[in-house]
Amino acid sequence: MCPAPVNDGDRRGYIIPIGGGEDKDVNPTILQRFVDLSGGSNADIVVLPTASKLEDTGERYEGVFSNLGAGNVSSIAISGREDCNNPEFAERCGNATGIFITGGNQLRLSSILGGTDVAQVIRRINARGVPIAGTSAGASIMSEHMMAGGEADQGPSEGGAVLAPGLGLTNAAIIDQHFSERNRLGRLLSAVALNPFLLGMGIDEDTGVFIGPESILDIVGSGTVTIVDGSDMSYSSAHSANRNQGLGMLGLKMDILHEGCRYDLNLREAFPPLEEDNNVCNL
């Protein structure tokens, strides 16, 4: 599923996957930037807590975004597919200036949200400029090929990544979250072995990736983002490996980005923070 087409005169809104565990109190830089992109004091933010089974998840984020200066924040209690086809809920999302998808279980999220009216509205409003942010499970579902599961604490293997359809807000990358904290490099590599034309994007906790309308992303937060590029891979054993067998992968490219780094999804090229660019130019 490709991202929704952008009409003449519009610019695609930011897509903001967050690796989970984002700072909400002391240094809420990631969430503050999302609020600002959504309009600040004029923002009208909708929170979708569908992935979570905790009853207070939506309410907690309402409080967080209100404290950060958002003009209006409301959560929608979507617990089944019938809710996602409720015209009132679809209209509420369609009028939003920002959508925030909380963490929880991404398969719960995709099985409830996928293919519904609310999902289509989210895709359309992003194409006309509305930022869509998601944390943890809400980050994974943004990609066309969603990371749905897989083994941590091991190297790449046949069957090491479980994929499912996502929202398709981006078809350039497979997104994984809680990345370094849960040692998920092996399962991201497993996914790239199956889809070498896609980038693997592993996002640490308290780290957000702000993907702009020109497909330039920049990093905000205290952790790092791991980008795995398999487009020039010269060899992969994914096609011949037995179940759970370790995979051989030759010719991979990997970049580790921290706050201030940028990455061009079209060029597949990473850049240091702007001040470091300037220092290099002045040598």
**Which one of the listed residues 52, 145, 178, 236 is annotated catalytic?**
178
**Which one of the listed residues 22, 62, 158, 205 is annotated catalytic?**
205
Catalytic, 145? Answer no
Catalytic, 239? Answer no
Cβ atoms of 48 and 125 closer than 8 Å: no
| Residue found by looking up tokens 């006309």 in the block | 128
**Which one of the listed residues 136, 157, 180, 236 is annotated catalytic?**
136
- C-alpha span between 105 and 218 (Å, rounded): 26
Cβ atoms of 210 and 14 closer than 8 Å: yes
SS (H, E, C) the chain: CCCCCCCCCCCCCCEEEECCCCCCCCCCHHHHHHHHHCCHHHCEEEEECCCCCCCCHHHHHHHHHHHCCCCEEEECCCCCHHHHCCHHHHHHHHCCCEEEECCCCHHHHHHHHCCCHHHHHHHHHHHCCCCEEEECHHHHCCECEEEEEECCCCCCECCCEEEEECCCCECCEEEEECCCCCCCHHHHHHHHHHCCCCEEEEECCCEEEEECCCCEEEEEECCCEEEEECCCCCEECCCCCCCCCECCEECCEEEEECCCCEEECCCCEEECCHHHHHHHHCC
Catalytic, 41? Answer no
Q: Which residues are known to be catalytic? A: 136, 178, 205
